[in-house]
Amino acid sequence: GQQVMQIPQYQHVQEGEDFTTYCNSSTTLSNIQWYKQRPGGHPVFLIQLVKSGEVKKQKRLTFQFGEAKKNSSLHITATQTTDVGTYFCAAYSGGGADGLTFGKGTHLIIQP
């Protein structure tokens, strides 16, 4: 199945600092999705990117899809304690209803 590599595995930041997580694939992706999982919770969908070079923003979150559709990033500006959790990218490269393959996630830890 589709393999996606996500880095870093853990990121410690001071509140107010920026945060970025990266997702990479060796093959071209049809689309890429991003999810957030709060501690003790379940993954919640954030966004889907489809077009080459696409950039989408949600308040302090900026999502990018690479020109070659092989990588993606999530950037959070001025982190807040509510941003704590694990951020996953998920890739789908085929047709039909195959399941998404998730990256290992980046655990964001924020120190007040």
Partner 1 sequence: ETGVTQTPRHLVMGMTNKKSLKCEQHLGHNAMYWYKQSAKKPLELMFVYNFKEQTENNSVPSRFSPECPNSSHLFLHLHTLQPEDSALYLCASSQAGGTMTGELFFGEGSRLTVL
CB of 29 to partner 1, least distance (A): 11
CB of 22 to partner 1, least distance (A): 17
Return the number of the residue (18 or 45) whose C-beta is nearest partner 1.
Answer: 45
Intra-chain end-to-end CA distance of the chain, in Å: 40
Return the number of the residue (13 or 46) whose C-beta is nearest partner 1.
Answer: 46
112 upstream amide cis, omega within 30 of 0: no
User: Order of strands across the sheet with 5-7?
Assistant: 5-7, 19-24, 71-76, 61-65, 55-58
CB of 20 to partner 1, least distance (A): 20
- Which residues have CB under 8 Å from 59's CB, separation 6+? none
Return the number of the residue (20 or 102) whose C-beta is nearest partner 1.
Answer: 102
Return the number of the residue (14 or 42) whose C-beta is nearest partner 1.
Answer: 42
CB of 107 to partner 1, least distance (A): 10
CB atoms within 10 A of CB 28: 11
Locate 29 and state its tokens.
């992706």
- Interacting residues toward partner 1 by CB under 8 A: 1, 30-31, 33, 35, 41-45, 48, 50, 86, 88, 90, 92, 94-102, 104-105
